[in-house]
Amino acid sequence: MQCAKIRNIAIIAHVDHGKTSLVDELLVQAGAFAGHEQVGERVLDSNELEREKGITILAKNTSIQYTGYLINIVDTPGHADFGGEVERIMKMVDGVLLVVDAFEGCMPQTRFVLKKALEQKLVPIVVVNKMDRENARPLEVVDEVLDLFIDLGVEEEALDFPVVYVSALEGWASYDARKKGENLAPLFDTIIERIPAPTGDAGGPLQLQVSLLDYNDYLGRVAIGRISRGTIKSGSTITLVKRDGSLENRRVAKLFGFAGLKRVEIEAGGTGEIVAVGGLGEVFVGETICELNQPDPLPLLKIDEPTLQMSFLVNDSPFAGQEGEPVTSRKLGARLKKEMEKDVSLRVEDTGSPDVFLVSGRGELHLAILIETMRREGLEFQISKPQVILKREGEKQLEPFENLVIDTPEDSVGPVMEKLGVRKGDLLNMVNTGGRVRLEYSIPARGLVGFRTEFLTDTRGYGVMYHSFDGYKEYRGELTRRRNGVLIAWETGTATTYGLLAAEERGILFLTPGVEVYEGMIVGENSREQDIVVNVCKEKQLSNMRSSTKDETVKLKAARLLSLEQCIEFLEDDEYLEVTPNSLRLRKEVLNKAERAKYEKNKRSSLSG
């Protein structure tokens, strides 16, 4: 297809501002689905975890034919932890649809993703979505977007951005906030008129940078990217310029284009088109596919560095291998390194121990998604407490900071601000909007580990928090650690009602009767600062003086069952989280009580010495 008839756009937004729903409606109205096809909701969120969490994790692309034009749309993650996906997508497109909620307005991730787009000098179109909401305030939201553009220091021409008011749910778009449209034609027309056609020498030697990777059972790794120059043909031989600058000749086994959500096999792809290339073998993100014996690589993609790291360990608990596939160190390392090939923001390093791997990512959610994915594959392993990655600049030690925005009821502001003060947060802005208060903070990334659970408790579930990476700033010193100790199982066995009843007087329990436990496993949180050992497997001694049915009227308090994210937030330096397909078990690093006491004593003496 001619370059002039192609439009490549990324659709970017904050979490849950409706961009995936908007893509669904664009596909429907452009006739991407046949009459007999059933169209599900959020068709681009094809990953199981994406559907569960309601967020986009992986960047994906689709294409739409509209009045003779080919519109390639790339759906990008809205969460800063998946910013590695966002950054490489910006190389594939010429413009962006900035989707903003007509009520919520600009949020931290809107800022994060827009900044990445404007750094690449991409043309923006502002889409004010969810116009069907009763409390929509579209004109104020457009003013907020304008303030955001000014705040990001864009050039004056970029401030003259087109605005389209949309309801993806009802399937209409309009240029006027007071008038309801009939369909999405105004949005399609704006894309064609305002987004520039791709540029490049169609007759020059081939140049295609790999931006995404996929996997096919028959073809192996599939490289996806935009052709910057020239033409690529199925069956041709190309030169692949590797990340280290070395050259390798490879053959294009299959070439695919995109039609709606489907991949279609094509014979050739020209300048400006987004194609998928199969059969290249070992290929990585950022490498350049060039004309045979004419290497001309594009600059490697610049991706923000990871900010958080944790250790992944082989599972050595007494229950290892009971629920999932026992994983050797070689297999665990291979699985983590395989993930690194697809995820450019992830780093995996070997350590002094063959059973421990240091994994670095962009945030708590980024690493939690990896853990959940591996868990669903049937793997068993352990993880340690997350640690932030510090940097040195001259004499100064720097740490990652996050831009945190909180939306909370008025009566919860006091406790929330008190907690953020303890965690070294700096208040930047505070706005009261009729019963709710929006707080904006700059806070060390480590200060947010474990904060979400406390925040939801303080706001009784009515608070909303979002954060995005802000940059590296001077180290703020030690933070106050978790105040409460833990309740530790005394022996291996099955938790009983009688044992739990005695233990619950000491604090909050994390399990229910009938759950298998082992010595050194954490079964609850102590109400005091010390760790204490409790016997949750204790059974009542029955005799002719006691009735076995007497305890049937005794009621245990509801246990606090922790999610994966809550378990990660709960961890301390001397604790691990055992992850299996069916269970999440918090445990002490040293399981035996006597050995643990000896370990703590040696640790204290080495610190004092």
Give residue-wise pLDDT tens across range 142-175.
Answer: 998 898 888 887 777 778 899 999 998 899 999 9
Q: What pLDDT sits at residue 87?
A: 65
Q: What pLDDT sits at residue 55?
A: 46
- CATH for 486-574+584-608 is 2.40.50.250
Q: Using only the alpha carbons of the chain, give its radius of gyration.
A: 27
CATH topology of domain 3-194: Rossmann fold (3.40.50)
Query: How confident is the model over 417-426, as a mean pLDDT?
Result: 90
What does DSSP say about strands 522-526 and 507-509: parallel, antiparallel, or unpaired?
antiparallel
CATH topology of domain 391-474: Alpha-Beta Plaits (3.30.70)
Q: Would 391-474 and 486-574+584-608 be classified into the same CATH topology?
A: no
Helix locations, 221-315, DSSP H:
none
> Per-residue pLDDT for 3 more than 70?
yes
pLDDT per residue as tens digits for the range 389-407: 888 888 889 998 888 888 8
Print burial letters for 173-188: b (CB count within 10 Å at least 16), e (below 16). bbeebeeebeebebbb
* CA gap 8, 12 in Å, rounded: 13
Q: Could you please report the per-residue DSSP string of 154-208?
A: --GGGGS--EEEEETTTTEEESSTTS--SSSHHHHHHHHHHSPPP---TTS--EE
Q: What pLDDT sits at residue 289?
A: 94
Q: Which of 366, 403, 380 is nearest to 109 (CA)?
A: 403
Q: Average pLDDT of the chain?
A: 83
Domain segments of the chain as ranges: 3-194, 207-291, 391-474, 486-574+584-608
Helix locations, 528-592, DSSP H:
564-570
pLDDT per residue as tens digits for the range 253-310: 999 988 877 788 999 999 999 999 998 888 888 889 999 989 999 888 766 678 889 9
- Any bridge partners for residue 521, and if so which? 587
Task: Take residue 124 and report the two structure tokens written for it.
Answer: 């923006």
- CATH for 207-291 is 2.40.30.10
By percentage, how much of the chain surpasses pLDDT 70?
A: 87
Lowest-pLDDT range of 155-159, 357-361, 381-385, 533-537:
155-159
